[in-house]
Amino acid sequence: MSGASKMDCTTSKSQSEGALTILTPTLPFLKWAGGKQRLIPQYQAFFPPLETISHYYEPFIGSAAVFFHWQPRPATLSDRNEKLIEVYQMVQQQVTAVIDALQPHRNDPDYYYAVRAQDPQNLSPVERAARLIYLNKTCYNGLYRENSLGKFNVPFGRYKRPKICDVDRLCAASAALQGVNLVADDFAWVLDTAVAGDFLYFDPPYAPLTATSNFTSYHRHGFDAADQYRLAQTISGLTARGCKVMLSNSSAPLIYELYQQPPYRLIEIQARRAINSKGDGRGPVKELLILNY
């Protein structure tokens, strides 16, 4: 990585393109379980026209694949994972410092476990952001998983040459995040602010197809059937208010049951499942896109 510390957003390709960068589709700088990058071509036909949206909300932001691709404005992005939201805040406000803080990080198992063992509270917000990006790029499968104490517990990933500091993506992400509202909270907070004419895209942890099939432990609190019911109630409240809602979820019976009545439309999507503990189940899987418009 020597010499890379001189890189910042004034030398990155994405910034040299100037104002156009804001409207150029951008790729996520994190890997995320359930990331939607590959599904965007299938989703695109169902997004409402940008000019009809007063405000865009994405309450399960993860790697923000849809937001970075589409970049609607004005936008509010949120997630219950406050450490993830802090990363977006730092990339938004201090991207050069984040890039600098990433420079010492190395793809080495001993070094990885030493960084993983650090207490994030002893780091500055910029160092914490760089630590999370580093762990995300070098851990197993890019998973974000915490133990019951809220400590990141994913093992080393053994990648040959992970791009720990992708300056172009970080700079493009920083540009895309300018003016965006970032909130660390449970999804239901949107009921406090969304109004008629707003568009909300929900991408929760999926309802499991079988008792053991899905990865839903992004966070120490998990996401269970009661959360799926709570989400359906939230969406029902937003629908009554005149908001447009799009929801991604699995094709589990519970999801058909929750969204079977009009005005919901269920669209079947063929996806490739990337996270499966045994490495099987990577063929096409039927998923649902649920629309209230």
Residue 181: CB minimum distance to ligand SAM, A: 15
Residue 252, both tokens:
């589990």
- From candidates 53, 65, 165, 290, binder to ligand SAM by CB under 6 A: 65
User: Is residue 86 a contact residue for ligand SAM (CB under 6 A)?
Assistant: no
User: Is residue 72 a contact residue for ligand SAM (CB under 6 A)?
Assistant: no
Q: Which is nearer to ligand SAM, 36 or 131 (CB)?
A: 36
Asked if 19 contacts 114 with a C-beta cutoff of 8 angstroms, the reply is no
User: Is residue 36 a contact residue for ligand SAM (CB under 6 A)?
Assistant: yes
Asked if 194 contacts 243 with a C-beta cutoff of 8 angstroms, the reply is yes
Omega within 30 of 0 (cis) for the link into 263? yes
Compose the 273-292 pattern: x for residues touching ligand SAM by CB under 6 A, - for all others: --------------------
Other Cβ atoms closer than 10 A to 50? 12
User: Is residue 169 a contact residue for ligand SAM (CB under 6 A)?
Assistant: no
Q: Phi first, then psi: what are they for 269, rounded to 5°?
A: -125, 140
User: Is residue 34 a contact residue for ligand SAM (CB under 6 A)?
Assistant: yes
Q: Which residues of 200-220 are buried (b: 16+ CB within 10 A; e: fewer)?
A: bbbbbbbbbbeeebbbbbbbe
Residue 183: CB minimum distance to ligand SAM, A: 10
Residue 291: CB minimum distance to ligand SAM, A: 16
User: Is residue 71 a contact residue for ligand SAM (CB under 6 A)?
Assistant: no
Per CB under 6 A, the segment of 31-39, 155-163, 235-243, 267-275 that binds ligand SAM is 31-39
Per CB under 6 A, the segment of 76-84, 103-111, 237-245, 268-276 that binds ligand SAM is 76-84
User: Is residue 62 a contact residue for ligand SAM (CB under 6 A)?
Assistant: yes
User: Is residue 47 a contact residue for ligand SAM (CB under 6 A)?
Assistant: no
User: Is residue 142 a contact residue for ligand SAM (CB under 6 A)?
Assistant: no
User: Is residue 56 a contact residue for ligand SAM (CB under 6 A)?
Assistant: no
Q: Which is nearer to ligand SAM, 123 or 183 (CB)?
A: 183
Per CB under 6 A, the segment of 130-138, 200-208, 262-270, 271-279 that binds ligand SAM is 200-208
- From candidates 85, 203, 234, 255, binder to ligand SAM by CB under 6 A: 203
- From candidates 152, 215, 218, 259, binder to ligand SAM by CB under 6 A: 218
For ligand SAM, the nearest residue by Cβ is 62
- Residue 239 and residue 233: Cα distance in Å, rounded? 10
Asked if 207 contacts 250 with a C-beta cutoff of 8 angstroms, the reply is yes
In the complex, the residues that contact ligand SAM under the rule CB under 6 A are: 32, 34-36, 59-60, 62-63, 65, 79-81, 186-187, 203-205, 218-219, 223, 227
